[in-house]
Structure formats: structure tokens, C-alpha cells
Chain A
Amino acid sequence: EAAVTQSPRNKVTVTGGNVTLSCRQTNSHNYMYWYRQDTGHGLRLIHYSYGAGNLQIGDVPDGYKATRTTQEDFFLLLELASPSQTSLYFCASSEGRGATAETLYFGSGTRLTVL
């Protein structure tokens, strides 16, 4: 079973604050993703990566940066947090394309509140 660990589980910050959400996967998956989940919107893709040093833009990237430092670690950065970024954030990983390889394995989520 793939393991994806997110930290912190909960985070509260103020408007304009600097926040980093962390994600680590321990199954040598190539692909990693950051999603946000909001009521009425489902899961929306922020950024994703094919591997260390690679970054791809998702569907709702404004206000977010991301960095993939290693194959295991993927970070989401909010440099000037705004209340609109209050959300539940999920990290996910997958092996790649094709059949079972593209099954997404999700972390437990990080609940971020921006006051």
C-alpha cells in the first residue's frame, strides 16, 4: 500500500502569512499532485510534478508555488496567504501512466485556515 504523509494536519495563519505544506511519499512514485478541496467545488488541481525538479501548473495555481526537491518530497508554498486559500489540501502520488500505475494515493490532508 502506497504511503503518502502530509504535514502539518492543521495550520492556522493570518492574511499575508507565509505557509509551507509538506508531502512525502515512500513508494518511489514519479508523479505527485497538490489538490485543494472546497465545498461545492470538489477536488481541484493546484500543481503537480513528474519528478524531482519538475513542476507543472494545474487548474487553480494562482497564489501558490510548489517545489519537488526529491522524488519523495513535494512542497506547496503560500507566500502571501489570503482567506480565499482557506481549504483542505490533499497531496497525492502515482507511479505514472497506464493501468494500475496511475491510481492516485492520497495523503490524509492538511486543513489550512487563513484568518
Chain B
Amino acid sequence: AQKVTQTQTSISVVEKTTVTMDCVYETRDSSYFLFWYKQTASGEIVFLIRQDSYKKENATVGHYSLNFQKPKSSIGLIITATQIEDSAVYFCAMREDTEGADRLTFGKGTQLIIQP
């Protein structure tokens, strides 16, 4: 069964710096998909970025990028030039690429606090 682990419960950084949030996963599949979602203080959950396991290039969207290290089963989320509004809880998630595997497994989340 797939498993997603986020060991950092909370991170605090100063505004305009770069932060990395860790995520490791377990899967028996050779093909899988990795995602990061953001939950704001209001509770809203939104999709940020995704990485397909067969792609070697790290995904980048705006000031979000991923550090995909397949041999380590690791998918870190990097936020550059952080802003106060980046304060949120960030969830890592995975879906295996097998027939019938149509749901995401989420990690427990990392709370990011951006200080002025």
C-alpha cells in the first residue's frame, strides 16, 4: 500500500527567503504521480504542483518548484521568495499508476509560517 510521510510538523521562516518542505513516499509501483496541495487559514485547499515519476525534470510553477529524488523516494517542495500569504499548511500526496488506483494518499501536512 502506498504511504506518504511528511516529518516536518511546522516550519517558520522570514519573508522573502527560500523554504523547502520534505516529503517521502512508499510505493511498489514503478510509475506514480506526486502532488502538493496548500490549505490556507480559511480552510480552502488548492492544488499547487505535480510531478510524474517518469519525468526527470523537476516541475516548476511560479515560485513553487519540486526537488524530485527518485532513488530516495523523496519529493520536496521549494518555495522561493516567500510571502506572508504563503503561510499555510502544505500537503504532499501520491497516486499510483495502476488500474483501479484512482485516489490520492495524503501526508499529514506541514504548517508553514512566514514571519515579516
Contacts and interface: CB of A to CB of B under 8 A. Distances in A.
Size band of the interface chain A makes with B: 20 to 34
A74 interface: no
B91 interface: yes
Given A88-B43, A109-B43, A104 B91 contact: no
Give chain A's interface secondary structure class: strand
Contact residue range for chain B?
20 to 34
Interface string A99-115: 00011111011000000
A48 B108 CA distance: 20
A45 B103 contact: yes
Given A42-B108, A43-B106, 19 more contacts: A33-B103, A35-B106, A40-B108, A42-B6, A42-B106, A42-B107, A43-B93, A43-B109, A45-B104, A48-B102, A48-B103, A58-B103, A92-B45, A97-B102, A102-B33, A104-B37, A106-B46, A108-B44, A109-B43
Interface of A: 31, 33, 35, 40-45, 48, 50, 56, 58-59, 88, 90, 92, 97, 102-106, 108-109
Interface of B: 6, 33, 37, 43-47, 50, 91, 93, 95, 102-109
29 contacts: A31-B102, A33-B103, A35-B106, A40-B108, A41-B108, A42-B6, A42-B106, A42-B108, A43-B91, A43-B93, A43-B106, A44-B106, A45-B103, A45-B104, A45-B105, A48-B102, A48-B103, A50-B102, A56-B103, A103-B47, A103-B50, A104-B45, A104-B47, A104-B104, A105-B47, A106-B44, A106-B45, A108-B43, A109-B43
